[in-house]
Amino acid sequence: MKRNPVLRVITDLLLPPILLFALYVQFHGDYGPGGGFQAGVIFAAGIILYALVYGLKKTQRVLPPQRIRVFVALGVLLYAGTGIAGLLLGGNYLDYNVLGSNPLAGQHLGILLVELGVGITVAAVMIMVFYMFAGRK
C-alpha cells in the first residue's frame, strides 16, 4: 500500500488529528466521555493506520518494539505506583485524597495519573500485539 498516493495523503492528513483526539480523550475524560482505555485504543489505532499504509519497518523505526515493551509495563507501574504513593503519604492503597493539598485536588491528580497509566499500557499493548501479528509474515 506504500505506493498508493491517495492513501498516503489521507493518512498524513488524518494522523495528527487522530493522535490529538486521543490526547483530548485522555485528558478530557474527567469532563466528557472518555478516559484511558478509549484514548489508548485511539492512539494505537493512529499508529496502526500509519503502519498499514507506510509499512511495519518504517513504523518500528519511530517506535521500536523494545521501547513499546517498556511502555507496556510503565503504565501498570504508574497505576500501582499512584496507589503506593498514597500509602506512603499515609492513606489507603489507591486512596487519592492524600495526594493533594485538599481531597479534591488529590482526587484530581490521582485520577489523572491513574488514567494516564491506563492509557499508556493500553496503547502500548495494542501496538505491541499488532507488531506481533503483522511481523510474522
Question: Can you give the binding site for other proteins, defined by CB under 8 A?
Answer: 25, 29-35, 37-38, 41-42, 44-45, 48, 52, 69, 72-73, 75-76, 79-80, 83, 94, 96, 103-104, 107-108, 110-111, 114-115, 117-118, 121-122, 124-126, 128-130, 132-137
Rounded to a whole number of angstroms, the minimum distance from the CB of residue 49 to other proteins is 9
Q: Are the CB atoms for 91 and 136 separated by under 8 Å?
A: no
Rounded to a whole number of angstroms, the minimum distance from the CB of residue 32 to other proteins is 6
Rounded to a whole number of angstroms, the minimum distance from the CB of residue 93 to other proteins is 8
> Between residues 58 and 69, which has the closer beta carbon with respect to other proteins?
69
Rounded to a whole number of angstroms, the minimum distance from the CB of residue 104 to other proteins is 5
Q: Are the CB atoms for 49 and 63 separated by under 8 Å?
A: no
The torsion defined by the Cα of 106, 107, 113 and 117, in degrees rounded to 10, comes to: 150
Looking at residue 45, what DSSP letter applies? H
Question: Using alpha carbons only, what angle is made at residue 49 by residues 41 and 51, rounded to the nearest 5 degrees?
Answer: 110
Q: Are the CB atoms for 13 and 40 separated by under 8 Å?
A: no
